[in-house]
Structure 1
Amino acid sequence: MKKILFFVLPVLASILVFLLILFLIDKSNSKGALQVTSIPKSKVFLDGKPIGETPLCKCEEDQMLKVGNYTVRLVPNDSKVSPYEQKISISPSVLTVVDRSFGQGALSEGSVIKLSPISEKEAQLLIISFPEKAEVLLDNEIVGITPLLLKKITESDHEIKLRKSGYREKSLRIRPVKSYKLEALIYLSINPKLEDKSIIPSISPTPTSEEKIEILNTPTGFLRVRAENSISSSEITQVKPGESYAFISEEKGWYQIKLPDDKTGWISSQYAKKLTEEVKDKDN
């Protein structure tokens, strides 16, 4: 008999709690389980095929997925919220957990949690965040900056907390397992209350403000620019994290930006944020 490592995901306020439960299945099993949760309720697609609605758990042996790589797509029942896609991998006898709390653009947050077998006889923890360089606290002690690999973690309940200026703090509880690396991919949401809205006293020449869009880190290392504000629209170019562009307009999870060749295009606001720059009045 072989153990399947299984996560249970209750949501307690803003804290995601992951409990690890052990189940027994046949040794010959070459499948893994998938759990998907979201706020609000969403339709779930796997490689383009509908498999149900959240909360969803392909956890029974006859429902489990073949080992391999998949694309999970969540389409919220609220049509005002943009869909979400995430590439995942299913491993033998392990549950992969996808959680998403939808908001407008960069106000969305979520996580993908899985276990990967390792050769070392210890428990490890890998924490990756978007955006990166978030401060990591393990049981309220600062242990580093993302991306971060922690080794020789005790097999007991732990709380990990991520903090980054301008973003909402995110916490979750985990239980590492010996001979496995627990991988936590965490998406932070912008905290609108902490956005820079300070007003600088005007002096001569009079400063005015110009909005720009900064490209945030993405899982692919780039962000597609589309002709229209739709994922089905044609791609006209790609932009990279750290770059900034003039802001033109905003529409339901999309930003319209001005490109260097004076053309305009649309990007997902999930991986971008507004910046305000001071520019001098050209008439002075």
Structure 2
Amino acid sequence: MRKLSIVLAITGGIILLVGVSLFLLGFFKPKLAGISITTTPAATVFIDNVQVGRTPYEGTSQPGEVTVKLVPESADIPLSPYETKVVLSSGIKTVIKREFAETEEKSSGEIISFEKVGGSEASLAVISIPDSAQVAVDGVSRGFAPVKVSSINPTEHQVVVSRPGYGPRSISIKALAGFKLTLFVKLAPDGANPSPTPAPIEIEEKATFIQILSTPTGFLRVRSEPGSGGVELAQVKPSEEFPFIEDDKATGWFKIEYQKGKQGWVSNQYSKKVEKTTLAATPSPSPSPTPKPAP
């Protein structure tokens, strides 16, 4: 009887140990990363040189960097394939959209990816090809790509990326708390045939700038954060004007682009907003080619 009790106790202990081990393995095992790919027309999908299906494609993978190759399916004209590297995040879906054309230059699309940064805030970074495309979030201009919005509500947003001479792209995104959302956008030139060059049309564009006012020191410091505690990044002079990015509700300070690709904060005590209307030349609309159904 005693031996039976010992055997049962040992067996129970082994079962308990195995169960706990399996639970811990499942608990600490990283979640799979998701990937969603849509294209026009349909395309064969390769991930790390392995054919995994065709678009529209939804799949999962281990977190980390992967190489995605898309080979368009077209019986009419040869279309340019697309290859890129993306970093997949655990428990997060990376989104790739691609519209193929005869060349890489004429193709367009976007990639939405996430990077865990911790904390409770969400942020957004927008990169464009070609660069210096104008970026608007929910109808508000945020400057020119590459641009970073350091704090954005963790909810759905509409981003429009545009540049004269190129077709704009409107992208729906959903920012997540504790993650930086990176939006990579490839714009395609307007029209299928760049020759002859269409006559330019002048249109009015409104933009907000920050004008530097007179200061006791003869200059105004640009800081890394709103408030006098931020690190000094540069100095700007009275009467100079810079593209407005955003304002800080707590301090009232303005965020500006003081150099191309560089942003910082200036005191609203010695600066003010000015609205400007400029004439921008854009190509006149070209006839669009007759669309052909995807195979």
Range class of TM-score, shorter chain: 0.5 to 0.7
Give 1:56's aligned residue: 57
Report SS of the residue matched to 1:150. Answer: strand
Q: Distance in 2 between matches of 1:123 and 1:174?
A: 12
Q: Distance in 2 between matches of 1:33 and 1:70?
A: 12
Report SS of the residue matched to 2:149. Answer: strand
Are residue 32 (structure 1) and residue 40 (structure 2) matched?
Answer: no
Shift of 1:139: 1.1
Are residue 136 (structure 1) and residue 132 (structure 2) matched?
Answer: no
Shift of 1:73: 0.7
Give 1:81's aligned residue: 79
Q: Distance in 1 between matches of 2:36 and 2:174?
A: 17
Give 2:107's aligned residue: 108
Give 1:279's aligned residue: none
Shift of 1:104: 2.2
Q: Distance in 2 between matches of 1:157 and 1:49?
A: 33
Q: 1:192 to 1:26 in 2, by over 3 A?
A: farther
Shift of 1:65: 0.9
Amino acid at match of 2:96: V
Shift of 1:122: 0.5
Higher strand share: 1
Give 1:145's aligned residue: 144
Q: Distance in 2 between matches of 1:26 and 1:144?
A: 43
Give 1:186's aligned residue: 185
Q: Distance in 2 between matches of 1:198 and 1:39?
A: 30
Amino acid at match of 1:77: E
Contact 1:166 1:194 in 2 (8 A): no
Shift of 1:34: 1.1
Give 2:43's aligned residue: 42
Shift of 1:29: 2.6
Amino acid at match of 1:111: E
**Aligned-pair RMSD on alpha carbons?**
2.1
Amino acid at match of 1:159: Q
Contact 1:126 1:148 in 2 (8 A): yes
Q: Distance in 2 between matches of 1:30 and 1:40?
A: 32
Higher helix share: 2
TM-score by length of 2: 0.54
Q: How many residues align?
A: 170
Q: 1:35 to 1:27 in 2, by over 3 A?
A: farther
Q: Distance in 2 between matches of 1:82 and 1:137?
A: 29
Report SS of the residue matched to 1:107. Answer: coil
Structure 2: 5+ residue stretches without partners: 1-25, 201-295
Contact 1:31 1:65 in 2 (8 A): yes
Aligned ranges 1:178-257 → 2 under 5 Å: 178-192=177-191, 196-198=197-199
Q: Distance in 1 between matches of 2:30 and 2:147?
A: 32
Q: Distance in 1 between matches of 2:90 and 2:74?
A: 34
Q: Distance in 1 between matches of 2:47 and 2:39?
A: 15
Amino acid at match of 1:50: Q
Give 1:156's aligned residue: 155
TM-score by length of 1: 0.56
Shift of 1:101: 0.8
Structure 1: 5+ residue stretches without partners: 1-24, 59-63, 200-284
Shift of 1:171: 0.5
Q: Distance in 2 between matches of 1:160 and 1:167?
A: 16
Q: Distance in 2 between matches of 1:194 and 1:152?
A: 40
Q: What is the aligned-residue identity percentage?
A: 28
Contact 1:128 1:186 in 2 (8 A): yes
Q: 1:148 to 1:78 in 2, by over 3 A?
A: same
Q: Distance in 2 between matches of 1:138 and 1:194?
A: 31
Report SS of the residue matched to 2:180. Answer: strand
Q: 1:135 to 1:169 in 2, by over 3 A?
A: same
After TM superposition, the structure 1 stretch with the greater mean CA deviation from structure 2, 178-187 or 103-112, is 103-112
> Max radius of gyration: which structure?
2
Q: Distance in 1 between matches of 2:192 and 2:47?
A: 35
